[in-house]
A and B are shown apart, each in its own frame.
Chain A
Amino acid sequence: MNAAPVPREVHAELKGVTRIYPAVPGAGAKLPVHALGPIDLDLVRGEFFAVVGPSGCGKSTFLEVLAGLQKPTAGSVSFEGKPVGGHVPEGIGVVFQEDASFPWLTVWHNVAFGLRRNGVAAAEVRRRVEDAIAFMGLKDFAGAYPSQLSGGMRQRVCIARTLVLQPRLILLDEPFGALDAQTRLLMGDEVLRLWRRTGATVLLITHALDEAAMLADRIGAMSARPGRFIEIIATGWPRDRDSTIVGEAAFGEITGRLWERLRSESLKALGHSGVSAMAAE
């Protein structure tokens, strides 16, 4: 199962990226926390990359550093050849784990939000918003408020809100973590559809091995804290795929291999929470 030969163009690059949270004696953090790295990673333009790892391993920190929401303690991040740091560059879109839809705006205005604040012409706003709303299957809910929608629907609103800005790199931070398993499979299909249509590079953070195995071209397995990539697995799926690949033999092989690598890390992470004070030298 070889993927079609695509010209490899580095879209985002992380070099020796490390994140250490300093000690805050007053706020319960007596020791500095080494959350991440060092990490070296090249994201290839147009690929679907998934990051899996045990809880608390620094996956979200990784995403925030890549997005420019946090500065790395050491190392450098670049996006399309330009260094990232301090602010989120134009061209990167982020969908968060928490519901970030604004309850005081209708679905339509939520989706239009980012465009309006960035001085896009009204006709263009309309066109793009209607397109994104239709694409995410929110057409019948354009006038509804988020409080009237289910969690999955609200997450779609957030995806649509990111989509209208036409990001070239889309970062998804466990966007389906709060949804049930079946809805997650279906949302996975939608993400694949979105990835194919936009041609954007997608980075998905998830704790679900099957989700990573089903969606990604490459999967980075992250160690327990401090998060590092212990293995990067290429899945070799064709670009035109959907959730039905969960029935294929290769799918089982990939999840099996991921679990083999991550089992000991997950155990470490479990122990970490209880005895971290003693373990920290």
Chain B
Amino acid sequence: MTATRRAADTLILLVGLVVLWEILHRIAGETAMPAPLSTFAYLVHNLATPRFIANLTTTGLELGYALLLAYGIGLAVGVWLGAHRLSGAVGEPILVSLYSLPKITLYPVVLLIFGLGISGKVAFGALHGVLPVALLTTGAIRAIPPVYLRAARTLQLSPWQTITTVLLPAALPEVFTGLRIGFTVTLLGVLLGEMFASKEGLGAMIINALQLAQGEEMMTVAIVLFAFAALANGLLLFVEHRLRRI
């Protein structure tokens, strides 16, 4: 029942967006905002072309590596800061202030260090994702009620059993929130990276289309990214809700 209602909600949202798009098209004109219908026609004709697939693969690869780094480093730092009080007291405010910085200002530095290839974009994506993952993991570990630890001791659990059967499941829902937000901002970082000083990837395609005033191509890439991000977010949200027993 809730599944059908959720599907209906999604459908209404999508229809609403297309209508809004059509209105914007009428106001802004053909060059700025091509019509939904012509864009969809363009999408159908160009999505399967080798050029599009090559760019899609590049972005996918960069995102994959960036996520691996962001999740790996973020989780490790988060567990460390959450479990060790002094490290947390020192590290957390630093992470919070870093999180609020506009990281795009550091992109030139990233480029100078990692070069113009794929690694620069991976690093820039990971730079975005690592902070929310670390911060929310720290929070997740701190939020574990201390009584769980005492209960574990009275239930005769070994330290290893306590970690795997109490601490891990207790922290998991909030850690997953971190992974979900981390995913969104890592994707943002990778795309931003591709938009500047890059010839490959979906971000570069958008900028290229902008310069050639190819509205349909621009919107096609946007739709693909929109669909991908929404799908991935929905999937992660689904897992998160299952973990939280909502």
Contacts and interface: CB of A to CB of B under 8 A. Distances in A.
Interface of A: 64, 67, 69, 87-88, 90, 92-94, 96, 98-100, 102-105, 113-114, 117-118, 145, 147, 158, 161-162, 165
Interface residues of B, number: 18
Interface string B59-92: 0000000000000000000000000000000000
B156 A98 contact: no
Interface stretch (B49-57, B115-123, B163-171, B204-212): B163-171
Contact of B147 (A92, A100, A114): A100
B19 interface: no
Of listed B154, B156, B243, B245, residue having the most chain A CB within 10 A: B154
B153 A96 contact: no
Contacts of A87: 153
Contacts of B102: none
B150 A94 contact: yes
A103 B245 CA distance: 8
B3 interface: no
A117 B156 contact: yes
A240 B34 CA distance: 84
Q: Do most interface residues of chain B lie in helix, strand or loop, or is the interface mixed?
A: helix
Contact of A102 (B156, B161, B166, B243): B166
Contact of B150 (A100, A114, A165): A100
A168 to B, nearest CB: 14
Nearest to B154: A94
A117 B157 contact: yes
A27 to B, nearest CB: 9
Contacts of B172: 104
A100 B153 CA distance: 12
Interface of B: 145, 147-148, 150-151, 153-157, 161, 165-166, 169-170, 172, 243, 245
Given A117-B156, A117-B161, A100 B245 contact: no
B154 A69 contact: yes
B150 A69 contact: yes
A104 B154 contact: no
Contacts of A69: 150, 153-154
A67 B145 contact: no
Contacts of A103: 245
Given A100-B147, A104-B172, A165-B156, 9 more contacts: A64-B150, A87-B153, A88-B156, A96-B150, A100-B150, A102-B148, A117-B155, A117-B161, A118-B156
A93 B154 contact: yes
A98 B155 contact: no
B170 A67 contact: no
Contacts of A117: 155-157, 161, 165
Contacts of A88: 153-154, 156
Nearest to B162: A117
A98 B145 contact: yes
Contacts of A67: 154
A24 to B, nearest CB: 11
Given A98-B147, A104-B169, A104-B245, A113 B155 contact: yes
Given A104-B245, A145-B245, A92 B165 contact: no
Nearest to B169: A104
